[in-house]
Structure 1
């Protein structure tokens, strides 16, 4: 994890006691099958009792499909000790390890929204991370994390979208560009819980559910099970979690919101629940059945459209309902008939989730009245259309 880079976990020996052995044990859930696709989804919740300092609650971990670390990445939330704030949403993409000094071809921030910032990281891998200290997250609330990959010229872009389960509001926090075409999200989805400092005395816990991957043919694959795997090697004497080698747990639970997976690590009272046992059975496959055919979120909805006539054409501004799925692409068409039939007089489209304003350079010839159709596709490619009539002067 990139926030580990400046920390000396096995720094020194003092009073004959090894330091760097007091971190809570890191552990993983690998969900679903080895599916390569363009969308990955996971919902995450941290219970109030499970909030602990210096903890990464990862939701979406994936690999690129190029055979090196290009396009590998992960997203999640953190309880950070950063001076800028805690309760962070974070998304990172690695640069190819084939040439880590090739800074000219590093991943880059194509879009940053809602107070998100970006910076390069190095040391344990190299790449770009985008993180948001402004929005924060709240305990006991489910957050949906979505990553979508798409092609932009010779590059690949990764969009990171977050839904607040309390307000229902979606936000597009960032897009990271990678200077290589046609990279897609590969492998089962990896989620982990990690203490990046020696704070194993604090118990941390994370809940996960509704894990999906969409393949290259547009088919949705729900994760019906997850393999739980703690970092066994960190339990050995002298390793970072030796003093908390038996303080971890995982499994499935159910509450008023439904079934979910959980991971817990650290804290003096934490112990593995059967069938898990240290050191005999530290790995296990747990299952939560998902009967849905596809993720169930409200599709995109256009909230408002404003059209202003200018000397050179039209200025179009629109907004989206924040509790509906975020925009992925737009298409603008002008027609000379109310049915919007036949070939349009003009057509413009882009895959740009953040765009909400477009200037249309078009002047009327024989047409005094035109009909403008705005089509929006959300991040799951569900479409919505709105038509407006505009009277123009020559």
Structure 2
């Protein structure tokens, strides 16, 4: 695996080294520390320092190695690479699964690629961040469960700059993998430059066990890999431990200072030596090593807490976030192990109390609270009454867990696809919803079951149809996290009567789907199909006033411009809502092709009888572009609306519109 960490043009590398007399026998010996952290852990960490006199190109200073030959085996460290000094993190392919490892998160400048050579797997490296000689860096690796998979994360702390960086999170497709072995470190010359010394210092090594306790790396076994290809520098190595750090060196003119009084073995060439391959170990001990890492708690601030969402910020100088939880009035509404999550959609009321708790990568938690304010920046959303919906699914439901339970307004009941019938349906699972009439949709809400997690949907798609038969317009897709929090899908004012939610996968990769509630929200746009509309100005043939209310931006209303009588401004549009209704906004979408007739100055009136309109409730001027316009006013209840266009953006006599809409 480590041989595949070379990132360079092969021609350039060979031409550079062909001028040298070095051969494979001139490689420096690989040297290893294996530490004393016996036990199953979820976090390993260590500080690394390369002195300038131990800095040599084509060197891998591996700081954290784990699970060699087992599930989830990997390496994390730094390299002095011909393309620059990088941070590297690699994991071998699974032994019990054919599924690939996937990089779910890549930090700025981190690249990923598959590797081969000494096994196969996924490698990531970051050259942009870089590292310097004579400086200390902290490297942290963490493993945690995500459904039936395990995620591995890698963080780096530049101690001189005081900044943390999250470089990668890998999705390993095997459940319940942790750091099972003791942790190792090594120094490797991957080219033939043993005449140069390579030195690394290591300190503050720790492992966090599954029971929450920590082990400090206070002792290590030092070993040397000696064999024929490294014969010229096999005995140029050394290692030591002092109260501050462990040190090991390979290559150059280094000579061992280790006592060999108890060693009587021979090397690969029959010579008496202190080491015989990796099996010859020399114990080193550091005194007064703390079991628990000395790192400050996470710092963060809540940046926003509204009725629609909460957000927070973690400075780069803070210990990094590992997980979050959100409570509203002491009720947990969201939680997940997502290191980069900084915003959560919620449904709350003004003056509710929200508490955000962050857990850092070392397991400490910090909480802050805020008072919820009204979100005045986003549009209003109105829940569509589930009693007006007709719902169906392509998958048979479990008895007493029918699909209607997901539309009953009760989050304690649930829909669940069948698990007990002879033919158990599998993904994908469809939920088809007939809204009963045309809506402008703003959001779909999916609430997972409150107890248990079987069937909780992760990957999803949302389609709409104009005839209830063909669902070929994809309007949303994504992946929901595994928390119990209600999920929100933005539908971006999609106009339709028929909508289909397609579940593609489940949190634990089972075949079932479930839901406590599925809810649909609309923007408050009134259904124009029931309107009676008219204009006092004759329209161009094929561009009558009804085309400004047909929910189709491609058609337009346009006053007559080709007949013998061409009406001039003002132009009135009258809307009969059919019955008194409350509304507070009118929108106007200009024609998208051409500009003739685009309204500039306007007035809005209302009436109870369609005769007496009184004074205008809104007056204004719309901008001269093709973007949708709106006029907002205090909510008013009336049956009749009159929009009077007073002028056109270029001073011409026509009026036109792609769409005119009325909103609650």
> Which TM-score tier does this pair reach, normalised by the shorter chain?
0.7 to 0.9
The alignment partner of 1:88 has SS state of strand
Alignment partner for residue 374 of structure 1, among 356, 365, 368? 356
**Gap change, CA 1:317 and 1:391, over 3 Å in 2:** closer
Tell whether the 8 Å contact from 1:210 to 1:290 is kept in structure 2 after alignment: no
Count, aligned residues: 350
Match of 1:266 in 2: 251
Q: Does 1:306 find its partner at 2:303? A: yes
Match of 1:340 in 2: none
1:226 and 1:31 map into 2 onto residues whose CA distance is 4
Match of 1:326 in 2: 320
Q: Does 1:23 find its partner at 2:7? A: no
Match of 1:144 in 2: 138
User: What's the CA shift for 1:245?
Assistant: 1.5
**Gap change, CA 1:358 and 1:5, over 3 Å in 2:** closer
User: What's the CA shift for 1:294?
Assistant: 0.7
2:160 and 2:5 map into 1 onto residues whose CA distance is 34
1:222 and 1:216 map into 2 onto residues whose CA distance is 15
TM-score (norm 1): 0.83
Match of 1:219 in 2: 213
Q: Does 1:250 find its partner at 2:250? A: no
Tell whether the 8 Å contact from 2:34 to 2:221 is kept in structure 1 after alignment: yes
Match of 1:197 in 2: 191
Higher relative contact order (CA 8 A, sep 6+): 1
Q: Does 1:349 find its partner at 2:349? A: no
Tell whether the 8 Å contact from 2:305 to 2:370 is kept in structure 1 after alignment: no
User: What's the CA shift for 1:322?
Assistant: 2.4
Alignment partner for residue 62 of structure 1, among 51, 61, 66? 66
Deviations 1:36-69 (A, max 9, x none): 11111111100011110110001100007xxx53
1:247 and 1:386 map into 2 onto residues whose CA distance is 55
Matches within 5 A, 1:1-394: 1-4=1-4, 19-63=23-67, 69-81=70-82, 85-97=83-95, 102=98, 105-232=99-226, 234=227, 239-253=228-242, 259-267=244-252, 269-275=253-259, 279-282=272-275, 283-302=281-300, 304-307=301-304, 309=306, 313-335=307-329, 343-344=330-331, 347-360=333-346, 362-364=347-349, 368-392=350-374
1:180 and 1:266 map into 2 onto residues whose CA distance is 39
Tell whether the 8 Å contact from 1:74 to 1:91 is kept in structure 2 after alignment: yes
2:100 and 2:90 map into 1 onto residues whose CA distance is 12
User: What's the CA shift for 1:202?
Assistant: 1.3
1:40 and 1:295 map into 2 onto residues whose CA distance is 10
Unpaired segments ≥5 residues, structure 2: 11-17, 264-270, 276-280, 381-664
User: What's the CA shift for 1:114?
Assistant: 2.4
User: What's the CA shift for 1:97?
Assistant: 4.9
User: What's the CA shift for 1:205?
Assistant: 0.5
User: What's the CA shift for 1:182?
Assistant: 0.5
User: What's the CA shift for 1:4?
Assistant: 4.4
Match of 1:339 in 2: none
The alignment partner of 1:199 has SS state of coil
Deviations 1:143-169 (A, max 9, x none): 111111100011000111111111221
User: What's the CA shift for 1:110?
Assistant: 1.3
